[in-house]
Structure 1
Amino acid sequence: MSKKRVNMIAEVILNSNAKQLNKVFDYKIPDELAPKIKLGARVLVPFSNRKELDEGFVVNIKETSEYKVKEISDVNGNYLDEKSIKLANWMAKRYFCNISDCIKLMLPPGTTAKVVENRVKEKN
C-alpha cells in the first residue's frame, strides 16, 4: 500500500537587506524537489511579480499555510544545520539585524547570489 504524500510548506527567509522583507514567506515544496529540501537549504523562489528568482533559506518546514503559496523553483545546495539556523535567529534578535545577514555569515564567501536569472523549467 502506498503512502499518500502530504503537501509540505517551507518557511523561507529571502536573501535581502530590506527590513520589510525580514520575515518568513511560505512556499510549497514540489514533489520532485522534496528529497532535496530540508531545514537550512538554499532555494530559488519567485517573489512578487518579478521575472527573476530570488535566493532564500529554508528556516522551517510545516504542513499547512494560511496563505495562497507559490512553489519553490529550485534548490541551490549548501545546507546549514538546525543549530546554525537557531544561532542566526538569536543573532538577529540580539543585534537587531536581518536573519538573512546572519545566515550569510555562516556560508563560505562567494556562495550567495542576490538575484538569479529566471531558469526555464520544462515540465514533462
Structure 2
Amino acid sequence: MKNNGPYAEIIVDLSIRKTDRVFHYFIPSEFEKQVSVGSRVLVPFGNRQLAGYVVGFGVPRSEVKIRSIIGVLDTRILTTEMLELARWMADSYLCSTAEAFGRILSPRLRVKDRRTVKRVFPVHTGVELEKILATMGKKPRQAAVLKASVGCPGLTMTELAAAAGASMKTVKTLVASGMLEAVSQGPLSGVPLIEETDCNSSLRLNPRQEQVLKPVARLLEEGQFGVFLLHGVTGSGKTEVYLHALSTAL
C-alpha cells in the first residue's frame, strides 16, 4: 500500500560515493513531531538498519517503493550552518556527505548500526599525565595516543589510532598496560549531544606552541577563514596545538 506522506529526504550514513544522494523515507505519525531538518534517524537500508541524516522534505517519484523511518536517534544535531558546511566539504574535498557529517559531529555520534563497540578512555590526566609523557621520549606514538585520548575521550580503538596517527597495535599495547581503559558500550550509551571538554585544563603549551597557536586562535576568534600548515616530526607537539585550536573554536 502506498503512503501519502509526509516524506523525509535522508542522507544515509555510508561513506560510499554511489549512495551519496538523497533517499526518501515515509515519516510515521508517531515520529512527525520529532523529525526535522538536522535530525538523525534510524532507517532500513538493504538488509540492515543504519543511521541517516534528515536534510529536507519532499515528494518521491511515484514509481519508487518507499520504506518507513524506524526510529528517531536525535531530534536535531545538525544546524543549518553545519548542513551547509558539510555540503561545501563534500564538494571541496571529494568526500561523501555522510563523511562530512561524521567529521563535523562528535566521533561518538557516528553510529552506523546497533552493534556493541569498545570505547577508549584515558586513565591518567593533568599533572599525572604530564609526568608519564615526560618519560616517553622514545615512544612518540604511544605519547600521541595518550594525548589524543585526553582530547577526545570515548573514541573507538580505530578512531583513536587514526586521530593519533598511530597503529591499532599501539592502542592495544596501552590498553593492555593499563594506560588506557577500553569499555564495551552500545553505540549510543552515555553519548551526550554536546560534551564540554576543556583541553587547556590537561594539556599545557610550551612557549613555541603558544607562538604557533596565536595566529590560528586570532582568526578563529574573529570568525575569519585562513589556512595554516603545522609541520613537525611525530611527538613534536602538533596535537596539543590542534586541541587548543579546537577548544578556541568550540
Higher relative CO (Cα under 8 Å, sequence separation at least 6) belongs to: 1
Q: Residue deviations 1:73-95, cap 9 Å, x none?
A: 00100521112111111110111
Question: Structure 1: 5+ residue runs without aligned partners?
Answer: 1-5, 118-124
Q: Which structure is higher in helix share?
A: 2
Q: In the alignment, which of 34, 59, 69 is matched to residue 55 of structure 2? A: 59
Q: In the alignment, which of 82, 91, 95 is matched to residue 97 of structure 1? A: 95
Q: Which structure is higher in strand share?
A: 1
Partner Cα separation in structure 2 for residue 10 and residue 115 of structure 1: 20
Q: Residue deviations 1:43-67, cap 9 Å, x none?
A: 100012x1x31111111112x2112
1:39·1:79 contact (CA, 8 Å) conserved in 2? no
Q: Residue deviations 1:22-73, cap 9 Å, x none?
A: 111110111110111001111100012x1x31111111112x2112210000
* Counterpart mapping for 1:82-93 below 5 A: 82-93=80-91
**Number of residue pairs the alignment of both structures matches:** 109
Question: Structure 2: 5+ residue runs without aligned partners?
Answer: 116-250
Map of 1:74 onto structure 2: 71
1:55·1:116 contact (CA, 8 Å) conserved in 2? no
What is the TM-score with the length of structure 1 in the denominator?
A: 0.81
What is the TM-score with the length of structure 2 in the denominator?
A: 0.42
